[in-house]
């Protein structure tokens, strides 16, 4: 599925599949999305472990920040920015 990202988008979500090769974790398929839900659905449809990060174009540094992780069993965890802990995502 291809998502058209507007040129002036201030926030882009990256869903990335995590693949293990030769004992190392490397990135597999990736999709850019305009919403977190769309990025999460991409990994759920694939049925693979992975992560969702957000790129904030409006921020000064423009870095990717981790938001959530999909585990091999299909469960999701999200990063709580206040505590720095990973918590279960409903």
pLDDT of residue 50: 92
> Exposed, middle or buried, 74 (CB in 10 Å: 0-12/13-18/19+)?
exposed
pLDDT of residue 61: 61
pLDDT of residue 44: 93
Q: pLDDT digits over 17-29, tens only? A: 888 777 776 768 8
Segments of the chain scoring below 50 in pLDDT: none
Reference 15, options 53, 44, 49; nearest CA is 53
pLDDT of residue 27: 65
């Amino acid at each position: 599925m291809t998502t058209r990202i507007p040129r002036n988008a201030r926030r882009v979500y990256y869903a990335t599949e995590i693949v293990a090769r030769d004992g190392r974790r490397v990135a597999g398929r990736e999709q850019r999305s305009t919403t977190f839900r769309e990025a999460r659905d991409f990994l759920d449809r694939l049925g693979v472990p992975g992560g969702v990060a957000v790129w904030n174009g409006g921020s000064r540094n423009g870095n990717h920040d981790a938001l959530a992780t999909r585990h091999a069993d299909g469960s999701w965890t999200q990063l709580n920015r206040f505590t720095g802990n990973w918590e279960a995502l409903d």
